Amino acid sequence: MSSLGARLGLDRWRALPLSRRRQILTPVLLGLGLLFPVLTGNAGNVDAAANAFTYVLLALGLNIVVGFAGLLDLGYAAFFAIGAYGYGIAASGQLKPEWSGFWAPLEWAGQVSRLVVPGQADSVQFHFTFWPMLAVSAIICAIFGMLFGAPTLRLRGDYLAIVTLGFGEIVPVVARNWEGLTNGAQGLGGIRTPRLFGFDFGFSPYPYYFLGLGLVAAAVWISIRLQESRVGRAWMAIREDELAAGAMGVDHVHYKLLAFAMGAAVGGLGGTFYVAKLTTATPDMFTFPVSVMVLVMVVLGGLGSIRGVVLAALFVAFLQSVILQDLTEYVHALGRLVGSDALQKVELITSLELIFGIILVLMMIFRREGLWPAVRKVSALTREQQTAAPSRGTAVDLEWARPQAAAGPGRPLLEIAGLRKSFGGVAAADDITLTVHAGELVSVIGPNGSGKTTLFNLVTGLIRPDAGSIRLEGREIGGRAPHEIVTAGVARTFQNIRLFNNLSVMENLLVGEHARLEAGVLGAIFRPPRVRREEQRAVERALEGVAIFGNRLLPRLDHPVYGLSYANRRRTEIARAIMTRPKVLLLDEPAAGMNPAETLELMDLIRAFRGLGITIILIEHKLDVVMDVSDRVVVLDHGVKIAEGAPAQVRSDERVIEAYLGRRRRAA
């Protein structure tokens, strides 16, 4: 820590908890924002700042789609346009439909007027008020967000981007060509400015400045609330690993559409605000370079980083409105000084897009996480914690993890019958029939390629069976979506560990609880007491879940999991699966990469889970362990169940030995 930093108190600042920092920053920033017009005394600066707020809104909106949910939207300007034209059409004289009774209530509400022109049919004059249109705009944009997002749900990253690019191009083309609606390339004019209690905003920048500040504050608040909620965690899980997110109960369709909707809504707010201030809207304001500009803001600031995105948006806005102008002046002066004609003619503003291109390339190559990435407060381990001998966990008495039994243990819980799946003509699962009883620990073993993981994938919904049925407590789950199966009570871990790498241990576990929590978007934003209690209990349960591993994970709760040791990543994944409160837990090679001591500890833990009443299906290659801990062992070979029974019996079964070691050759 440099002495300057220390004198500025940076180390003390960083030691404060996040909530405390926010408590201090929020009034300071708000205060500065409110006082800025007074402090600067220059109407031009206030106007520039008001325009900048539009950029900030757009960046915050795209941040939800790209930063939180990981969906690369290259056509974001479409929502900017829809919000803009939505208000523009409603508040200008563009549309003049014929009068009918339909419009009467709106006339009564003061939103439209009846135009009487002698010799013609009566028509409607639109003059919708700004304030309700803010909400209407947001809603319309949200709907379009879902409409444009829906076709992309099954596409992977770059294809998704292209489709959004397509929609992003269609909107301005429609705006340019549907002249009846939008007045074509000339654009809308005469859009009414907002009025508040009789005061007309007119063309003074000051009311727009405060309106913009309010909108930005609201958008920041909503973003923060969403990020730190069940919804935000679901988005980030999808961003990190969509497959694993589904396996933890996150419905990717629902949440992707939600991300598009929320992002579009914020963009629409920006559009409405911008156009109300500008009083005009033309198709050229919403072309591809605008989408790229918003992308530049988000990339520059840091995907998912709220403060980064705000700062970057302000920077880009001021770059465009102020900085390049000033720089150009300097260059001109320099040109006069050295007598260079070329320098005196340079207009840096025309190279704005060039700068954007350079920013994108440099950021992607050198600093993909952005200039101001999201604050990750990671507590360093104390000396004691670093050198502490690993302790075993407390007894596993997580009562909330005990499955509610419909009937006593021993009844059939998971019934697989005639299950088949082929890939390219090769049967990965060939008529598998297996019944697992409540409270059992069944191990599935077999040589490489025998179909064990395929079986897990079929049971958990990652792949659809070609034939056969899978029943959980009598209800068919075969072919259902993964998140539905999780909700029904089946959880799993993965052979090659699929954690949400950039999320912390705690966040990973909380995603595990997704299916057992209820907070939705409104609950996330407004945080009523019910939601606050829910979150608190979720954190408590997660702490208990982590404690089963003793002191190994507890000191590392807020560390991002990509930095953990292999064994700790394994443990986190297991704890995460337990958080879904499963009836059946499928563990795919949980002991891989663990030394014998760790393996023994893990097996004790698995026994403890079974003690809670959780039914366990285990794939493991350390056969000593398997034999020791299992009630029953099932052996697969080439997708076929070739043996089933007590461990000792299976181990000495000729067919099993042959499956592993190969058939003895007939002739030497």
Partner 1 sequence: MRTPGGVLLDFRDVHTHYGALHVLKGVSYEIREGEIVSLLGGNASGKSTTMKTVLGLVRPSEGTISFRGQPIHALRTSEIVKRGIAPVPEGRRVFPRMSILENLEMGRYTRRSEPGWDEDLERVFGLFPVLRDRRHQLAGTMSGGEQQMLAIGRALMTRPALLCMDEPSMGLAPRLVEEVFDIIREINAQGTTIFVIEQNVNMALSIAHRGYVLQMGEVVLTGSAAELLESPLIQKAYLGSGA
Partner 2 sequence: MNGLDVVLQQVVNGLALGMMYALLALGFTMVYGIIELINFSHFSVFMTGTFVGLTVLNLMGVTAVSRSLTGLVLVATLIALFVVTMLVTGLLGVLIERLCLRPLRNVSGTAPMITTIGVAFILINLMLLTFGPQAQRFPSLLPNWRWPLMGTAEITFKQLVLFAVGLVLMIVLSHLVKRTTLGKAMRATAQDADAARMMGIDVDRVVVLTFFLGSALAGAGSLFFGLYYGFTGYYIGYTTGLRAFTSAVLGGIGSIPGAVLGGLCIGLTQSLGGQLIGVKWTDVMIFSILIFVMVLRPSGLLGVRAPQKA
Q: Residue 159 binds which entry of partner 1, partner 2, none, with Cβ cut-offs from 5 to 8 Å by kind?
A: partner 2
Collect contacts of 321-324 with beta carbons under 8 A, ≥24 apart. Answer: 321/48, 321/51, 321/52, 322/48, 324/348, 324/349, 324/352
Quick note: the x/- pattern for partner 1 over 290-329, rule CB under 8 A, is: ----------------------------------------
**Between 145 and 205, CB nearer to partner 2:** 145
**Between 474 and 563, CB nearer to partner 1:** 563
The residues near 195 (Cβ < 8 Å, ≥ 6 apart) are: 129, 130, 201
Q: Residue 623 binds which entry of partner 2, partner 1, none, with Cβ cut-offs from 5 to 8 Å by kind?
A: partner 1
50 lies in the site for partner 1, by CB under 8 A: no
Closest by Cα among 302, 66, 298, 60 to 161: 66
**Between 12 and 154, CB nearer to partner 2:** 154
Residue in this structure with the two tokens 């102008």, named with its chain if needed: 325
| CA atoms of 534 and 224, how far apart (whole Å) | 18
Q: Residue 290 binds which entry of partner 1, partner 2, none, with Cβ cut-offs from 5 to 8 Å by kind?
A: none
Q: Length of the chain in residues, anyone?
A: 668
Q: Residue 597 binds which entry of partner 1, partner 2, none, with Cβ cut-offs from 5 to 8 Å by kind?
A: none
Q: What is the DSSP letter of 454?
A: H
In the complex, minimum distance from the CB of residue 516 to partner 2, in angstroms, rounded to a whole number = 27
Closest by Cα among 547, 79, 58, 11 to 296: 58
CB 89 within 8 A of CB 181: yes
**Between 210 and 288, CB nearer to partner 2:** 288
The only residue of 23, 40, 186, 350 in contact with partner 2, by rule CB under 8 A: 350
Q: Contacts with partner 2 in 272-331 (CB under 8 A)?
A: 288-289, 292, 295, 299
Phi, psi at 648, each rounded to 5°: -60, -40
**Between 115 and 627, CB nearer to partner 1:** 627
Quick note: the x/- pattern for partner 2 over 355-374, rule CB under 8 A, is: -xxxxxx--xx--x------
646 lies in the site for partner 1, by CB under 8 A: no
Closest by Cα among 171, 174, 137 to 272: 137
Q: 294-333: string of b/e by CB count within 10 Å (b at 16+)?
A: bbbbbbbbbbbbbbbbbbbbbbbbbbbbeebeeebeebbe
481 lies in the site for partner 2, by CB under 8 A: no
Closest by Cα among 71, 221, 194, 68 to 132: 194
Q: Residue 589 binds which entry of partner 2, partner 1, none, with Cβ cut-offs from 5 to 8 Å by kind?
A: partner 1
Residue 429 bridge partners (DSSP): 421
480 lies in the site for partner 1, by CB under 8 A: no
| CA atoms of 563 and 565, how far apart (whole Å) | 7
**Between 28 and 342, CB nearer to partner 2:** 342
25 lies in the site for partner 1, by CB under 8 A: no
Candidates 355-363, 391-399, 435-443, 565-573; binding stretch for partner 1 (CB under 8 A)? 565-573
| CA atoms of 298 and 137, how far apart (whole Å) | 23
Provide the pairing of β-strand 640-645 with 632-637. antiparallel
The SS3 call for residue 377 is coil
| CA atoms of 140 and 130, how far apart (whole Å) | 15
The only residue of 115, 139, 146, 162 in contact with partner 2, by rule CB under 8 A: 162
Residue in this structure with the two tokens 């819980």, named with its chain if needed: 413
The only residue of 39, 43, 173, 657 in contact with partner 1, by rule CB under 8 A: 657
340 lies in the site for partner 2, by CB under 8 A: no
Q: Residue 177 binds which entry of partner 1, partner 2, none, with Cβ cut-offs from 5 to 8 Å by kind?
A: partner 2
For 366, counting Cβ atoms within 10 Å of its Cβ (0-12 exposed, 13-18 middle, 19+ buried), the class is exposed
CB 163 within 8 A of CB 155: yes
Q: What is the DSSP letter of 645?
A: E
The only residue of 62, 91, 112, 161 in contact with partner 2, by rule CB under 8 A: 161
Q: Contacts with partner 1 in 406-435 (CB under 8 A)?
A: 426
78 lies in the site for partner 2, by CB under 8 A: no
CB 443 within 8 A of CB 626: yes
Closest by Cα among 597, 213, 642 to 451: 642
In the complex, minimum distance from the CB of residue 587 to partner 2, in angstroms, rounded to a whole number = 25
CB 581 within 8 A of CB 403: yes
Residue in this structure with the two tokens 């704005």, named with its chain if needed: 352
The only residue of 115, 627, 640, 642 in contact with partner 1, by rule CB under 8 A: 627
The only residue of 166, 449, 520, 555 in contact with partner 1, by rule CB under 8 A: 449
154 lies in the site for partner 2, by CB under 8 A: yes
628 lies in the site for partner 1, by CB under 8 A: yes
Candidates 124-132, 430-438, 441-449, 502-510; binding stretch for partner 1 (CB under 8 A)? 441-449
597 lies in the site for partner 1, by CB under 8 A: no
Q: Residue 173 binds which entry of partner 1, partner 2, none, with Cβ cut-offs from 5 to 8 Å by kind?
A: partner 2
Q: Residue 156 binds which entry of partner 1, partner 2, none, with Cβ cut-offs from 5 to 8 Å by kind?
A: partner 2
Compute CA distances 653 → 145, 322, 433, 649, whole Å: 59, 81, 19, 6
For 242, counting Cβ atoms within 10 Å of its Cβ (0-12 exposed, 13-18 middle, 19+ buried), the class is middle
In the complex, minimum distance from the CB of residue 565 to partner 1, in angstroms, rounded to a whole number = 6
Closest by Cα among 421, 409, 404, 312 to 356: 312
Q: Residue 449 binds which entry of partner 2, partner 1, none, with Cβ cut-offs from 5 to 8 Å by kind?
A: partner 1
The only residue of 184, 335, 550, 647 in contact with partner 1, by rule CB under 8 A: 647
Q: Residue 656 binds which entry of partner 1, partner 2, none, with Cβ cut-offs from 5 to 8 Å by kind?
A: partner 1
Residue in this structure with the two tokens 């000729």, named with its chain if needed: 654
Site residues (CB under 8 A) for partner 2?
72, 74, 151-152, 154-159, 161-163, 166-167, 169-170, 173-174, 176-177, 242, 288-289, 292, 295, 299, 350-351, 353-354, 356-361, 364-365, 368
Site residues (CB under 8 A) for partner 1?
426, 447-449, 564-566, 569, 589, 592-593, 621-624, 626-628, 647-648, 651, 656-657, 660-665, 668
